[in-house]
Amino acid sequence: MADTPELQARKTIHVGGEWLEAVSGATREILDPADALPFVLVAEGDEKDTDLAVAAARQAFDGGQGVWPQTPVAERAALLRRVADLLVRDREDLGRLEARDAGKTVEEGRVDIDCVADAFRYFADLVAAEAPGRVVDAGSPDIHSVVVHEPVGVCALITPWNYPLLQASWKIAPALAAGNTFVVKPSEITPLTTIALIDLLTEAGLPAGVANIVTGPGHSVGARLAEHPDVDLVSFTGGLVSGTKVAQAAAPSVKKVALELGGKNPNVVFADACATEEGFDTAVDQALNAAFIHSGQVCSAGGRLIVEESIRERFVAELARRAAKIRLGRGTADSVECGPLVSEQQRTKVESFVASALEEGAVLRTGGKRPEPSAQRPATGYFYEPTVLDACHREMRVVREEVFGPVLTVETFQTEDEAVALANDTEYGLAGAVWTTDAGRARRVAGRLRHGTVWINDFHPYLPQAEWGGFGKSGVGRELGPAGLAEYRESKHVYQNLAPKPVRWFAG
């Protein structure tokens, strides 16, 4: 994508195999968060565009030429593998596009594309290796009983702005593997790589109408998808408030709903993990990664550091020192370690969290402001310094609510029970970590943490073959792993009597 505005790129709605402008003709400028300047124009769809896309997906599922649900599993898996190969081919271009659109570094963008390709390959392998059905022992040789899995139908996939293509792939890959058709609504501020993926699906040979995309805002496109009577499943990743609205809109039609709604993730560090210089360095380094990767705009960000009191001062001092050295700038520039926030609205939200924390007694150890402008940090960009807030406690808003920015809060504990209580004292339950050299303690604490993913002596890695999702208000359902495929399926019991005869229940 060129660095000059491409203000003719209006056909970003894909319906029934065709690229279209919005029915209304409306458009939206996509801004580069590093300088707040527009560089692409996309279609701004609404309810009318959404209805057309759902109708195309419905027709592609229910009938017509090349019906995807009846395509043999081996062919579906082969197509997913072709998509993965195309992603590898276009890795550099897609990685740079993701970096510019979302504000992350190019290296983060490249890693994202690798992970997207991994997800497509995983679900291809998963469906290709499955048995055609589960035989149920009915207790008689005259009965053949089997449970089979069939696609749900038309899926509405609503994705967030922080990991646009990665989060889309976690939905699109299993939806296609299971034999569904879909309409995807990317975030209206970071839609570009999802648009590009639709082209790759077409290049890989996906039949027209199976994959549809409507670019537009949540209040029109997202809301219509959630309530639409011809949508069989809605999968949403985003904030708690929006997710609640999606669930409410979907309820009257009793469609399947999967929600991934973020987290407030604890990173628990015991003193024994820092008993050696190597252990101390690793724990501090990982605490930085946990909190500040992609400027903290990560649903699983380790924004709550819960550190044992005996090592608190040394640990926090070193953490703050290193955080102050993080190189902020345009994500597409060399040597930059952390990019801008995605929008002015997001930066304003982060600033309000930091202000409230300081009013409530938090101690600012580093950051807490916009950086000085430079060649790599235009004054118009949405930059904010990595921030460490010490002396925090559970009653603070910044500790309770998801910040989604480069802000790390520090709490302390003295006993294992206290550490677990603090880590679980949240309405969310997406992810968390425990750092210790005591194997018994590691297993105990991991077992007691009420979070969907628990890392021991690590932070952030995920595997496409392992389920991802959370407890509590972090959502319902799972992505990735076998359960991530199951979300896009219905189970059907087929019972066949091989030797039917009269029952004689009724005498007449």
Residue 392 falls in the annotated catalytic set: no
Dihedral, 449, 450, 453, 458 alpha carbons, nearest 10 = -20
| Ordered DSSP codes for 13-62 | EEETTEEE--TT--EEEEEETTTTEEEEEEE---HHHHHHHHHHHHHHHH
**For the chain, how far is it from start to end, CA to CA, in angstroms?**
78
Residue with tokens 């992350």: 104
Question: Largest Cα–Cα distance in the chain?
Answer: 93
Catalytic residue among 155, 274, 299, 392: 299
Q: Which two tokens stand for residue 202?
A: 């077409």
Long-range contacts of 131-140 (CB under 8 A, 24+ apart): 133/494, 136/493, 138/495
Which position among 98, 108, 227, 260 bears the catalytic label?
A: 260
Name the E strands within 210-331. 211-213, 233-237, 256-260, 266-269, 304-308
**How many angstroms separate the CA atoms of 111 and 46, rounded?**
33
Please name the residues in contact with 26: beta carbons below 8 A apart, sequence gap of 6 or more. Answer: 43, 44, 45, 46
**What does the block give as tokens for 492?**
């059907």
Name the phi and psi angles at 259, rounded to 5: -130, 125
What backbone torsions phi and psi does residue 59 show, to the nearest 5 degrees?
Answer: -65, -40
43-48-54-57 Cα dihedral, nearest 10 degrees: -60
Looking from the CA of 317 toward its CB, the CA atoms found within 13 Å total 4
**Nearest one of 264, 305, 307 to 288, comparing CA atoms:** 305
Known active-site residue 115 = no
Residues with a catalytic annotation lie at 260, 299
